[in-house]
Structure 1
């Protein structure tokens, strides 16, 4: 009969062999203004595997902006959609950075990392993002280097009809009654869930359905290690450097 210590060593070896994806949240918002080119470049320099950016469609452009309003992250006021493109171009999004477009972000990234595009608006956002990503795929970007996600699942479903080769991430802020069932029904490749709702049964169900499970937004190193040990596949973090330090080089892809 094998001893408990031998079983524990084997369990640690299996955990250490699993890939663990570090996703820079809004770039690296712990180090630079969120959703700016500076934040994205910082995340890449810190070693993130992927960057996550928020996108809204307005006035013919796809703007990198999380909030529907400008007040928190720029020197502007009111709804983003209340301002024409020319006015948005003049705003300061922090440290002298402007509000970039999705195309500007992708041109900066140049396939150095994967890109999670979160749809933050609806009624046309899916169509505009699909048209943009289609051009980059035609120029040589692998479709699997993109992940399109949203809490607005009907908008995510619309995107799937437009560009089915790009993987989807279903965003949840709770644990559904059918566990990961809805994400699987949607045809998503990842289930992205808030840290406060991580559940061992949800992790197991996601994996049984062939889904990766990513957790947002995790900045504490002890919590990062705990989630890795629980079996999650990756985290969104404001500090990619902390996540890399927490899980160690032995789990890097």
Structure 2
């Protein structure tokens, strides 16, 4: 299969290989390195939409406990690396100011998708456009709820294996893309996604050899902790 002329470069959790993940510093670093899109994770903490990947705080901060169980003021007092706070979704939107498209991953359930939909719609009233967002999740029912609340904003189904029905789950959701773990990229899955008019992106790809293999297999883009490596390959 002929590979695309341009492999979309998606900065994973900002530019996780260069700065503490999911922080404003990491997101700004990804932008400065030249990524085409920045991905980050959003959860609920006391009704606030916060940008953090794990359900627990220990790996990425100096705090303890589950994000959903701690107080927001406690979470905001933590060090997420290099003196960075855990940001809110609003702060990320304010930092980026439409300079680059964003892949917002819904990490928690319980209405997170609907709240993100409301926040992104507010951003659109302030100048963002719907096509500057791509909202994704492994929690497909939560992603469906997001789509019901904001049908104009593109979504991507996240999978970590090869579904029995190939890319059909993305089609059923009305998604524009399928995001799949690099270890499960399958030529038939790529072909099926493209036959349905879907883009297919692989995560998390950090080795240039793997980027080349995926590009040659027909993948449309990759999530990487090192956006600069993707861009070097493109050149």
Report the TM-score, using the length of structure 1 for normalisation. Answer: 0.91
In the TM superposition, residue 60 of structure 1 has moved relative to its aligned partner by 2.0
Match of 1:186 among 160, 165, 173: 173
Q: Is 1:201 equivalent to 2:188 in the alignment?
A: yes
Report the TM-score, using the length of structure 2 for normalisation. Answer: 0.98
In the TM superposition, residue 247 of structure 1 has moved relative to its aligned partner by 2.4
C-alpha distance in structure 1 between counterparts of 2:77 and 2:222, whole Å: 33
Greater C-alpha radius of gyration: 1
Write the mapping of 1:160-175 to structure 2, written as runs, cut at 5 A. 160-175=147-162
Note the residue ranges of structure 2 that are not aligned, 5 or more in a row: none
C-alpha distance in structure 2 between counterparts of 1:125 and 1:80, whole Å: 13
Q: Is 1:246 equivalent to 2:233 in the alignment?
A: yes
In the TM superposition, residue 234 of structure 1 has moved relative to its aligned partner by 0.2
Over 6 Å off, 4+ runs: none
Residue 128 of structure 1: SS of its match in structure 2? Answer: helix
Aligned to 2:83: 96
C-alpha distance in structure 2 between counterparts of 1:88 and 1:171, whole Å: 27
Write the mapping of 1:201-240 to structure 2, written as runs, cut at 5 A. 201-240=188-227
Aligned to 1:80: 67
Q: Is 1:138 equivalent to 2:125 in the alignment?
A: yes
Indicate conservation of the 8 Å contact 1:222/1:246, yes or no: no
Match of 1:177 among 164, 173, 193: 164
Write the mapping of 1:32-71 to structure 2, written as runs, cut at 5 A. 32-71=19-58
Residue 48 of structure 1: SS of its match in structure 2? Answer: coil
Deviations 1:131-152 (A, max 9, x none): 1001011111110110000000
Number of residue-to-residue matches in the alignment: 235
Note the residue ranges of structure 1 that are not aligned, 5 or more in a row: 1-10, 249-253
Residue 81 of structure 1: SS of its match in structure 2? Answer: coil
- The structure with the largest helix share of the pair is 1
Aligned to 2:16: 29
